[in-house]
Structure 1
Amino acid sequence: MTKEEIFNKIAAIIADRFEIDQSKVTNEMNLQKDLDADSIDFVEFVLELEDTFGSEISDEDAEKLSTVGEVVDYVAAHQAK
């Protein structure tokens, strides 16, 4: 899966979960500041990513993900080969 395909899936998840227009999602978007996501929102988002992409994201790794671009890069690097 290309980074563009990964980004599009993540943008769709964000748009649905946080009720924003998918076209407003950018790689630079900060998950906590721009989306006003609290810790529960973030955990649910990570769980949905795991289900969507079929890979596990450790709590330690999840804490390091702050922007959409970082999430895309992480998923791209850890997708099932």
Structure 2
Amino acid sequence: MDRQETFNKIADIIADRFEVERDTITENLNFKQDLNADSIDFVEFVLELEDTFGAEINDEDAEKLNTIGQAVDFVMAHGSQE
């Protein structure tokens, strides 16, 4: 899976989970500032990333994921690339 496909999958998850328009999602979108994600929302999102991409995301790594782009980078580096 290339970077664009990974971004598209994550953007679809974001659009569904946070009820935002899919075409407004960019790599610079910040989970807390732009999506007003609280800690429960974010944990659920991280769990969905793990399930979708086969990536294990520990708490320390999850804390570093502030933007969609950072989530894409993490999944590209640590996810199952099927």
**TM-score of the superposed pair, with normalisation by structure 1:** 0.97
CA-CA distance at 1:34 after TM superposition:
0.1
Unpaired segments ≥5 residues, structure 2: none
Secondary structure at the counterpart of residue 66 of structure 2: coil
CA distance in 1, matches of 2:63, 2:55: 16
Q: Which residue of 2 aligns with 1:73?
A: 73
CA contact (8 A) 2:56 2:79 kept: no
Q: Which residue of 2 aligns with 1:53?
A: 53
Amino acid aligned to 1:10: I
CA-CA distance at 1:55 after TM superposition:
1.4
CA-CA distance at 1:80 after TM superposition:
2.3
CA distance in 2, matches of 1:45, 1:24: 18
Secondary structure at the counterpart of residue 29 of structure 1: coil
Q: Which residue of 2 aligns with 1:13?
A: 13
* Identical amino acids, percent of aligned pairs: 64
Count of residue correspondences: 81
Unpaired segments ≥5 residues, structure 1: none
Secondary structure at the counterpart of residue 72 of structure 2: helix
**TM-score of the superposed pair, with normalisation by structure 2:** 0.95
Amino acid aligned to 1:40: I
CA distance in 2, matches of 1:40, 1:70: 19
